[in-house]
Chain A
Amino acid sequence: MNLTTFLLALFDGVSYAALVFIVALGLTLIFGVMRILNVAHGSLYAIGAYATVSLVGWVLALGAAPILAFPLMIVSAILVGVLIGGPVEYLLLRRIYDKPEVLQLLVTFAVFMILEDVQRLVWGTQPYFEAQALRALGNVTVFGVTYTVYQLILLPLVALTLLVGLRFFLRRTVTGKLITATTEDREAAQSIGIDADRVFLLTFVMGAILAGLGGALASPTTSILPGMGADMIVLSFAVVATAGLGQIEGAAIAALMIGMGRSFAIYIWPEVAVLVPYLIMVLVLLVRPEGLFGSPAARKI
Chain B
Amino acid sequence: MMLSFKDVSASIGIIPILRGLDVEIPQSQTVAMIGRNGAGKTTFLRTIMGFTRTTGEIRFDGKRIDTLHPPKRPGLGIGYAPEDRRLFSAFTVEENILLPAQAAGLDQAETQKRLDRAYEILPELREMAGRPGGQVSGGQGKMVALARALMLGRKLVLLDEPFQGLAPALAQRYSEALRALRDSDRSVTLIITESNPALLRGFADRTLVIERGEIAEGAPQTEGESA
Which residues on A are within 8 Å of B, measured CB to CB?
171, 174, 177-178, 180-181, 184-185, 187-197, 300
Contacts and interface: CB of A to CB of B under 8 A. Distances in A.
B51 A191 contact: yes
B88 interface: yes
B75 interface: yes
24 contacts: A171-B90, A178-B103, A181-B88, A181-B99, A184-B88, A185-B86, A185-B88, A187-B51, A187-B86, A188-B86, A189-B71, A189-B103, A190-B71, A191-B80, A192-B80, A192-B99, A192-B148, A192-B152, A193-B72, A193-B100, A195-B103, A197-B71, A300-B89, A300-B90
Nearest to A300: B90
Interface string B58-69: 000000000001
A195 B90 contact: no
Contacts of B74: 191-193
B99 to A, nearest CB: 6
B41 to A, nearest CB: 16
Contacts of B91: 177, 180-181
A246 to B, nearest CB: 12
Interface residues of B, number: 26
- 4 smallest beta-carbon distances between A and B, as pairs: A193-B74, A188-B86, A192-B100, A193-B103
B104 interface: yes
Contact of A177 (B73, B75, B89, B95): B95
B71 A195 contact: yes
Contacts of A191: 49, 51, 70, 74, 80, 82
B187 interface: no
Nearest to A178: B103
Interface core residue of A191, A192, A194, A195 (most chain B CB under 10 Å): A192
A192 B75 CA distance: 8
A271 to B, nearest CB: 45
B88 A190 contact: no
Contacts of B151: 192
A188 B88 contact: yes
B112 interface: no
A166 to B, nearest CB: 14
B102 interface: yes
Contact of A194 (B50, B71, B80, B95): B71
